[in-house]
Structure 1
Amino acid sequence: MQSVNDAVLITRPQTNHPNLEIITTPLNSLNSRLNDSTTAQHVEFRVYNESNVNKGQRQRYDGRSLIDLLVISALMWSAWSYQLWDVVKGFPAHYRSGWNVELTLLLAWIASCVLGVRYICNTILYESLTPLPGLGVQIALTRGVRFPWPLTTNRNFLLPISTSYSFVPLSEISTVILNQALHGFSVRYYLSIVKKDGQGVIVGFNTEVKDIDISV
């Protein structure tokens, strides 16, 4: 499956793993500095936090959708059970009468809402790995909000909020390996970048990729 948007080529080479996406972007500025026939480009390997289900619909790979639903349901149930809306409408009177149980419940509910929103907005949307020829490898982790949206292909809408980057210079890379390890009672596969002189190991797709077909 391929799509083109402003000279950006998006490819999903594995039908069994549609969460793997390869994004190829021509570097026009670099092409113009070299020559017209140069096809310089950078390729981003992106893996979404989702797995394929029936009829093309996808669901979160980490299995936390139920937790999000429980968090939202608990907040709505507590607001209805303790009639917090009445407390909000009568807030001036409650405030003048001094500190009481209603105000305590309201503040606790607001704090729970803030924590719940923070938890939902901290959802991992996708991870990506971008080799930069002559420079090194960039690894990125994007977090944000994911919610159902029937108008999209996979019936989900992703709203990125923050992205963290990790860059490994080419001069520090010793080798790249595909590592197999046990995680609880399951086997996971890691694409690892081994740095020189014992500087450590950088793991790409550490959160989402657990299938050797994608890693290879």
Structure 2
Amino acid sequence: MRAFLQRISAPPKQTLRTLQPTPYTASYTVSTRPTPRTVPAQIASCISFLLRSLVGLSTALLLWLASGYKSSQTEDVLLHVLDQPRLDELLALVDKCQWMYLAPCALIIFIVVFRRNYTEESLTVLRGLGIQTSTTSSTYLQAPTTRFIPTTSIQDIFIYEAFKGFEVRFYLAVVVEGEEDVVVVFPGLLPKRAILEEVWRGARKCLWEGKEEKQQPKREMESADDAEKRRDKQEKI
């Protein structure tokens, strides 16, 4: 019993998915979406999706019939699924439904059907352009919340630590020029330190690695040219 309660109260497991098509482009996604690895889990996931789709379509059909806009074409379509006696029973049941009860029940059903039962937050890094943070919404009907920060505004990327209650939590933050507050990456999930370190190293490597190495030979060449010019001046003197 104790193990069951701990499993229910435990936070959802977080996974990191990395996509790097080029050395200068990378996408890091932290998700609590459960991944079905076994055949029974995959079958259960498919059945759950089909049930949610069936319940949503049935509710939409019920609202359509109750609205009074049903036509002969709608009844012909329903006759392919139901026989005439059951169709008559369905239409009679719809006529008895009152909107004061039907509308709230349909709203609750749609909220359950379209509710997203997991959270995904991502960081996309593009060298020369900037970074983009994204957080999924709580339902499938809303677009994710995104923010783009150009490279010229990024001063640095750090891993900070803070207290949340009596617990020390680590978070990845971007220092943006001209802003007093830092931009927290993965603000809703706050992944563990191991995930943050992997994302931090990859983001810094994608943004800035190689630039300092390329600038160093230029400085050496400039200093060599300056020294040669000074020698030429001394010889002329």
TM-score in terms of structure 1 length: 0.51
Gaps of 5+ in 2: 1-12, 42-51, 56-88, 198-237
- Identify the residue that residue 214 of structure 1 maps to in structure 2: 195
* Distance in 1 separating the partners of 2:128 and 2:145: 22
- Identify the residue that residue 136 of structure 2 maps to in structure 1: 142
- Identify the residue that residue 43 of structure 1 maps to in structure 2: 26
Query: Runs of 4+ in structure 1 displaced over 6 angstroms?
Result: 51-55
Amino acid at match of 1:49: T
Does residue 205 (structure 1) correspond to residue 205 (structure 2)? The answer is no
The secondary structure found in structure 2 opposite 1:177 is strand
Q: Please give the root-mean-square deviation of Cα atoms over the aligned residues, in Å.
A: 4.1
Contact 2:24 2:126 in 1 (8 A): no
- Identify the residue that residue 169 of structure 2 maps to in structure 1: 188
Q: CA deviation at 1:212?
A: 0.7
Contact 1:47 1:126 in 2 (8 A): yes
Q: Percent identity?
A: 21
* Distance in 2 separating the partners of 1:48 and 1:117: 20
Residues matched between the structures, number? 143
The secondary structure found in structure 1 opposite 2:170 is strand
TM-score in terms of structure 2 length: 0.47
- Identify the residue that residue 94 of structure 2 maps to in structure 1: 91
Q: CA deviation at 1:200?
A: 3.1
* Distance in 2 separating the partners of 1:198 and 1:163: 23
Contact 1:20 1:214 in 2 (8 A): yes
- Identify the residue that residue 129 of structure 1 maps to in structure 2: 123
Where relative contact order (Cα < 8 A, 6+ residues apart) is larger, the structure is 2
The secondary structure found in structure 1 opposite 2:111 is helix
Gaps of 5+ in 1: 1-16, 27-39, 59-71, 76-85, 96-101, 146-158
Contact 1:178 1:191 in 2 (8 A): yes
Contact 2:156 2:174 in 1 (8 A): yes
Higher helix share: 2
Q: CA deviation at 1:91?
A: 2.6
- Specify whether residues 53 and 104 from structure 1 end up closer, same or farther in structure 2 by C-alpha distance, changes over 3 A only: closer
Amino acid at match of 1:130: T
* Distance in 1 separating the partners of 2:196 and 2:34: 15
Q: CA deviation at 1:115?
A: 2.8
Q: CA deviation at 1:174?
A: 2.0
Contact 2:173 2:184 in 1 (8 A): yes
Contact 1:125 1:160 in 2 (8 A): no
Match of 1:111 among 99, 107, 114: 107
- Specify whether residues 52 and 91 from structure 1 end up closer, same or farther in structure 2 by C-alpha distance, changes over 3 A only: closer
